[in-house]
Amino acid sequence: MHIPKKLATLCTVLLFSGTALAENTPTYEVTQTFAAAGKPHFPALNNKTKRLYASDVDTGTVTMFDASTGAILAETATGAGAHSVFADGKNNLVYVTNRGANTLSILDGSTNTKIIDIPVGAQPHGLALDVKNNRAYVSNTGSNDVTVIDLAARKTIGTLAAGTAPWGVAIDTKNNMLYTSNTGEGSVSRIDLATGNTVAKISVGGRPWNIRVSNENHRAYVTNETLGMVHVIGNDAVIANIDIGKTPHGLIVNDEEERVFAAATGSNQVVVIDMKNHTVTQTIAVGAGPTAIASDKDGENLYVANQAGGTISVLSATEQKNHKDHH
């Protein structure tokens, strides 16, 4: 079983009195492949119920799976171009952006049935949730802005200006900042949520797609579709460019393991990046056209939506122990 990094570090310290030091390094391998009803695009996992949800852009639906077996439990029409999906485990709700319907759908996580559609801007793609503060942020590629939604009232309460064609969106909750990846102008915006003003715009070139922010180092990680890399942004500057393969799209950040996982769609692979030294530590072959990734709470299992292949790959962590002699 995979040992979380903090516990592994403690074990390392306790074992140091011997002649060898065991260092636990997680690696990942494909352990299951789920057949999807269509072309899964963006997955999300409810860690409490072990339900997996995946959007299908072509059919405008979200499918609910049993995350353990891959069995399809329900399929719901949410709206044209169903795109980003996030699962709120605390309230057992699912949120979906529908880029063709210009809405955010909220689903009941138990039944996968739609509760409400909330109008947003034009061509909504990205979605970021701040469950603690009851806020959702939807990046609207067609209207160059971000819709702010009150999750308790389930209504729009504001709009924030972004760059040209913002695709991805992410929150730095500690610093009360919002980031957007602006596909139409090759930049990343940093927006102060207290004022609604853009306080920095960082040029990355190409077509930045998805974006995530670390809760530990507060850096932003951005996939670039045309440049084939992940950009690392800190202090409003690009501090690293990491080549990962053709046309990367979705990515997630695991602060516990200090790893970033990115889907290189054109290379049919998932790439693991060490957040400390900005290097690729593993490349895992998955199904055709992986677009986005979800993870369980401990990072032991990853769920990869292979849009072109019509499958979901499950990657599970294993332990690789390295022994170093000390005298």
- Contact in structure between 150 and 135 (CB atoms under 8 Å): yes
- Coil, helix or strand at residue 8: helix
- Whether 13 maps to a domain, the answer reads no
Tokens 């059919």 -> residue: 59
- Asked if pLDDT for residue 9 goes beyond 60, the answer is no
Residue 168 lies in a domain: yes
Residues 254-267, mean pLDDT to the nearest whole number? 96
pLDDT at 18: 35
Residue 142 lies in a domain: yes
Give residue 7's pLDDT: 41
CATH number of the domain residue 160 falls in: 2.130.10.10
- Cβ distance 53 to 36 under 8 Å? no
pLDDT of residue 324: 36
Instruction: Return the number of other C-beta atoms located less than 10 Å from residue 201's C-beta.
Output: 16
For the chain, how many structural domains are there in total? 1
The answer to whether residue 6 is domain-embedded is no
Residue 1 pLDDT:
46
- Considering the chain, what is the average pLDDT of its residues? 91
- Token pair belonging to 233: 């942004």
User: For 44-100, what is each residue's pLDDT tens digit?
Assistant: 999 999 999 999 999 999 999 999 999 999 999 999 999 999 999 999 999 999 999
Helix (H) / strand (E) element for 13: namely helix 5-15
On the question of pLDDT at 327 being above 90, the answer is no
> Residue 171's closest CA among 154, 155, 194, 153?
194
Examine the pLDDT at 126 and tell me if it is beyond 60.
yes
**Paired strand residues for 198:** 191
| Interval 271-317: pLDDT, tens | 999 999 999 999 999 999 999 999 998 889 999 999 999 999 999 99
pLDDT bin (cut points 50, 70, 90) of residue 37 is confident
| pLDDT digit string, tens, across residues 179-234 | 999 999 999 999 999 999 999 999 999 999 999 999 999 999 999 999 999 999 99
pLDDT: is 22 or 293 the higher one?
Answer: 293
Burial of 23 (0-12, 13-18, 19+ CB in 10 A): middle
What's phi and psi for 300, nearest 5 deg? -80, -25
Q: What is the pLDDT of residue 24?
A: 60
**Residue 225 belongs to some domain of the structure:** yes
pLDDT over 70 at 322, yes or no: no
Determine, yes or no, domain membership for 21: no
3-class secondary structure, 265: helix
Better pLDDT: 52 or 10: 52
CA distance 263 to 272: 9
Judge whether residue 264 has pLDDT over 70. Answer: yes
Residue 26 confidence (pLDDT) = 81
Q: Is residue 112 part of a domain?
A: yes
Q: For residue 311, what pLDDT is reported?
A: 98
Q: Is 50 left (phi over 0), alpha (psi -120 to 50) or beta?
A: left
Residue 249 lies in a domain: yes
Amino acid, res. 153? A
Domain span at residue 106 reads 26-325
Confidence of residue 321 (pLDDT cuts 50, 70, 90): very low
Which residue do the tokens 């690789």 mark? 320
| 7-16, 17-26, 134-143: segment of lowest average pLDDT | 7-16
Radius of gyration (Cα) for the chain, nearest Å? 19
Provide the CA 48 distance to its chain's centre, in angstroms.
Answer: 18
DSSP characters over 81-148: TEEEEEEETTTTEEEEEETTTTEEEEEETTT--EEEEEE-SSSEEEEEEETTTTEEEEEETTTTEEEE
Nearest-angstrom CA–CA distance, 183 and 93? 29
- Residues 6 or more apart in contact with residue 182 via CB below 8 angstroms: 162, 163, 164, 165, 166, 167, 188, 189, 208
